[in-house]
Amino acid sequence: MLDFVWGSVAEAAFAALGRTGTDDSEPIDYVQIGSLAGAEAALPAALLRSRRIRISGSGAGSVSKAEMIAAFPDIIARFGDGTFDVPYTTFPLSRVGEAWAHQGRTRAVIVPD
């Protein structure tokens, strides 16, 4: 799961992940990237004890400056010629179970209801 917003949106995601009846057989990789919805989010301890979840961060410190600079020309060129494409399917938060079960060639993106 890629989280660009954090804050209350992350808290809602954590609540959904902790609900009974959700498929808890697969591990969850939760990558925190941005904080558009707030700099802090409460993480229920019960979620950490009941699910296989790995939370990590991604940002400027996750790769070296040299690696980022080296990647820029290709990324900019792909944006420019329209070949930079990440296919996705959106799911409202109320249908988070469908998003978790989504199996296809697109990324599942959960959005607020």
* Residue 44 to residue 61: CA distance in whole angstroms: 26
Please state the domain extents for the chain. 2-111
If you average pLDDT over residues 47-56, what whole number do you get?
A: 89
pLDDT confidence bin for 22, thresholds 50/70/90:
low
* Residue 91 to residue 83: CA distance in whole angstroms: 25
- Tens digit of pLDDT for each residue in 70-87? 989 998 999 899 898 888
Q: Which residue has the tokens 């900019």?
A: 76
CB of 56 closer than 8 Å to CB of 31 = yes
If you average pLDDT over residues 34-43, what whole number do you get?
A: 93
If you average pLDDT over residues 26-38, what whole number do you get?
A: 89
The region of weakest confidence among 16-30, 34-48, 70-84 is 16-30
